[in-house]
Amino acid sequence: MRKQIAAANWKMNLTLEQGEKLLDDIIAKPHELAEHQQAVFAVPFPYLTMAQQKIASKQNVYIAAQNCSNKKSGAYTGETSLEMLQSLGISVVVIGHSERREYFNENNQLLAEKVNICLEYNATPIFCCGEALNIREAGTQNAYVEKQLEESLFHLSAEQLQKVVIAYEPIWAIGTGKTASSGQAQEMHAHLRSMLAGKYGNDVANNITILYGGSVKGSNAKELFSQPDVDGGLVGGASLNADEFVTIINSLK
């Protein structure tokens, strides 16, 4: 069975003390991860070491960086390299979140470079793709997301691609309280998987974890995750609440 993942994206939230308490609260609540399930916490850079220490004894729980540099090292003030992350024991990195694309002008070519460097350092990229409201309303979302995958992932070999997690984000459903219906989520996830199958074959496509990233909450997670091509969620606001996120973890199939 494909890996089923509940990934928390804290974004630029919480003090160190608040982050410690949140992790403590989540760890203390009853939840169990099967062998094919994972919980991932993408925390702000200053909290990576703290978070790693909190989950050190936990099975199938990982700490992720929210971003990385496309450069190995050098005069890039304010950037964080894969080598730095690797030295902290970080093996998962969120790449190309819609906020990075929108606010920091990250394009598909840059994200291809970030994916490459993650794989070079044996880190798992959670590669984000998705469309804004105007694209959805124009009915061109499939072509838009196809281009994101083609330009950032389709240079990879089949072996490399199977080390990537894809997160589909309907940008119009992030932080707005709107959520794509489970049917809309399944439709796009199925389309993404069919794209992967067209390029790499069914065996590879069926081995790729595709997460849904649009206002996942405790109240809708089970229905969303029950869809055949939805393999968990990349969770924003609800991941800042221990009860909500534990409910989401327990909704994995």
Q: What is the pLDDT of residue 31?
A: 82
Q: What is the pLDDT along the chain (253 residues), one digit of tens a residue?
A: 899 999 999 999 999 999 999 999 999 988 889 999 999 999 999 999 999 999 998 999 999 999 999 999 999 999 999 999 999 999 999 999 999 999 999 999 999 999 999 999 999 999 999 998 888 888 898 999 999 999 999 999 999 999 999 999 988 777 666 667 899 899 999 999 999 999 999 999 999 999 999 889 999 999 999 999 999 999 999 999 999 999 999 999 9
Q: Smallest Cα–Cα separation from 224: which of 206, 241, 238?
A: 238
Task: Tell me if 99 is assigned to some domain.
Answer: yes
Cβ atoms within 10 Å, residue 154: 14
Q: Smallest Cα–Cα separation from 189: which of 235, 228, 132, 221?
A: 228
The number of folded domains in the chain is 1
Q: How far apart are CA 45 and CA 65, in angstroms?
A: 7
Tell me the residue range of the domain where 95 lies. 4-65+76-249
How does DSSP classify residue 7? E
Task: Tell me if 70 is assigned to some domain.
Answer: no
- Residue 165, both tokens: 């997690």
Task: Tell me if 184 is assigned to some domain.
Answer: yes
Q: How far apart are CA 164 and CA 208, in angstroms?
A: 7
Amino acid identity of residue 9, one-letter, is N
CATH number of the domain at 15, please: 3.20.20.70
Per this entry, what is the length of the chain?
Answer: 253
- Residue 99, both tokens: 């906020």
pTM > 0.85: yes or no: yes
List of E strands, the chain: 4-9, 37-42, 61-65, 92-95, 124-129, 165-168, 210-212, 232-235
Task: Tell me if 95 is assigned to some domain.
Answer: yes
Task: Tell me if 71 is assigned to some domain.
Answer: no
User: What is the DSSP annotation of 49-81?
Assistant: HHHHHHTTT-TTEEEEES---SSSSSS-TT---
Catalytic positions are: 97, 169
Cβ atoms within 10 Å, residue 35: 9
Q: What is the pLDDT of residue 245?
A: 97
Beta-strand relationship, 4-9 and 232-235:
parallel
Q: What is the pLDDT of residue 49?
A: 98
Task: Tell me if 148 is assigned to some domain.
Answer: yes
